[in-house]
Every structure is written in structure tokens, then in C-alpha cells.
Amino acid sequence: MEFGITFKGFVSPARARNLVRQAEEAGFTHCWFYDSHVLWRECYPAIAMCMEHTKKMKFGPCVTNPNSRDWSVAASLFASLALQSEGRFVVGLGRGDSAMRVMGKKPAPLARVAEFTQKVKAMVRGDEVQYGESPEAVKFPWANGYELPVHIGAYGPMALKTAGEVGDGVILQIAEPALVKWFADQAIAAGKEAGRDMSNFQVIAAAPAFTGDMDKCLEATKWFPAMVGNHVADIVEKYGAHSGLVPESLTAYIEQRKGYDYSKHGQSDNPYLDFITDDIVESFCVLGGIDAHIAKLLELEKAGTTQFNIYLDNGDEERIIADYGNKIIPHFTR
């Protein structure tokens, strides 16, 4: 299992430079940034900056979407970052949640996510590509054949199907082993159904991790179930909470859900957090002492997780990276 960290964008540039250096030295292989350009800073300048301070670490948005940028601009951006870093750029892709809603726009349909995946990968590779917004086909004369990995963020059956059919991996914003397995299995099954070799398909579990006293852990991370519950609500509305496709543990939580303030997206002072129980927080995140982290991560690995991606920005970032580097990651390096 590999390890990643995710910045939401609040971190200062000076601190980000240091944290990625520390994380690389500690054994983390990936660094992700939220891509939601109104709520936070545009993430690609930060990615390019961090690339200059690392040697092996891979970077990518977690997640971008097909609607924020013209596809040839997105592809040129991605290919340039890959070329500049000698292949250290990957993509996390979703339908566009906060990035769209904060502007009063709708997330993209899944068919558009799938088409974006395929056409952007082709443009990055150097193929001539025709896509909707461009009167003429686009081909980058400077492309160097890079095969851009695109991992698709998903929870719902149709999104998981898309991830399995066109993605190089799936990003699951949750660290609950049973749910990770249930989600990942759907994606992998869809890929096999479509005739793909799924042996290298990536399963990325993304959630906050916090080491130490449980009360402090809970306080620091309870914003997370509130934020990702929003995605789950979309599933339930479409497929029905008691259809058998959605586990009871999740639907119980959803029923308590009241609302969500997008201007506080991803922040720990989000006011609509009352309905989150401690059980839900523990279930969604990786919390507690070092041994509890190792135990849960072994479960996640057994459930098929290929990368555990820590959502940082809950405080004590240097300490958590050091704890993972010194005491946790060594148990998983093979």
C-alpha cells in the first residue's frame, strides 16, 4: 500500500514547500490538492511549486472536473506538469462538486466525465483529438507520449461503473474498510465486464488521519463526514436508501443529515456538524494511537486499498507526517 497526503489549499506556500519535502522523506509517494478554484487557490501553481522541492513524489488534483477548464487547456496543463516533473503528475477526477456549485453551476454528467477522461488522456499522449468546444481538432506538437493516469472519484453505482470502465483507478473519500471493498468491487467488476485488465487498477481511500488522544482526533476531523455525506446524499436520492445497494450504516447517517453550507466546505468550523456521531467520525477516518492506525490500515489494505491518502489541514500536520514516516509507513513498505 502506498501513502499520500492531500492539501485543501489553505496551507501557505512556504509551509507547503516544507511539508511536501518532509512527506517525501517520510515515505509518502503522492501529494494531492483540492481543485476548487474559487473556494481555494488554484492548485496547479502550487503543484508546480511543490514539484521543484521533491524528486520522486507524484502530484495531482483530488479532484478536478470536466467543466472548469476547456479540455485542451486542461490537457496542456496536465501534459506540461508531467513533462516538467519527468512523469510525476496524475489526475483525480470527479463530476465537479464545490467547484461548480459555488458558481451556481451543476456537476457534469458521468458521460462527460468518461469522455473527458479519454480525450484528455489522448491529447496528453499526443494524439489528434476532436472534442465539442473546439472547431478544429487539437494536437500538441510537443507531447512526449505520456500515459496520464486518471483516477475517478466515485460512490454511486453509475460513477463506480464509469471509474471501472475508463479510469486507471477509483478515489473513495472514506476510510471504512467494508465500504471501500463494496465500492471498489463495483468498479472492478464493471471494468472486467468491459473486458479490461484490472490487475493494476488503483483503489485510493482518501480521508483524514489524526494520531493521539481520541477526543482531540474526533474534534479535528468531524468536518469530514459532513462534507462527504453530501456526495452520499446524491446516491441515495437516485438509487434509494433501502434498495440493498447502499449499506444500512450509511443510510442511517444520511437520514440525520440536515444541510450543508458550501461556503464552509471542508472547514472544521462548518456549523452543520451536530448530526455527526463519534462512531461515524471514527468509521470514516483513521484515528487514535499508532497501533489503531496500523490495525485499520491493514484492514483497508486487505479490502483492496492500494493507496491511503490522508486529508491534512486538521492541525499538527508536521507531527502526523512524522508519526506516519517513523512508525506507520514502515509497516507497509514492501
- Nearer of residues 142 and 215 to its own copies, judged by Cβ: 142
User: Total binding residues for its own copies by CB under 8 A?
Assistant: 56
109 contributes a contact to its own copies by CB under 8 A: no
CB neighbour class for 17 (10 Å; exposed up to 12, middle 13-18, buried from 19): middle
135 contributes a contact to its own copies by CB under 8 A: yes
Residue 68, all three cell numbers: 472548469
Out of 4, 32, 34, 37, name the contact with its own copies by CB under 8 A: 37
| Region at 45 (left for phi over 0; alpha for psi -120 to 50; beta for the rest) | alpha
CA distance 194 to 160: 13
248 contributes a contact to its own copies by CB under 8 A: no
Buried b (16+ CB within 10 A) or exposed e, 75-110: bbbbbbbbeebeebbbbbbbbbbbbbbeeeeebbeb
**CA atoms within a 13 Å half-sphere pointing along the CA-CB vector of 150:** 31
22 contributes a contact to its own copies by CB under 8 A: yes
53 contributes a contact to its own copies by CB under 8 A: yes
- Smallest distance, its own copies to C-beta of residue 69, A: 6
260 contributes a contact to its own copies by CB under 8 A: no
- Smallest distance, its own copies to C-beta of residue 140, A: 6
- Nearer of residues 14 and 197 to its own copies, judged by Cβ: 14
CA 260 from chain centre, in angstroms, equals 20
User: Applying CB under 8 A, which part among 20-28, 233-241, 248-256, 285-293 lies near its own copies?
Assistant: 20-28
316 contributes a contact to its own copies by CB under 8 A: yes
29 contributes a contact to its own copies by CB under 8 A: no
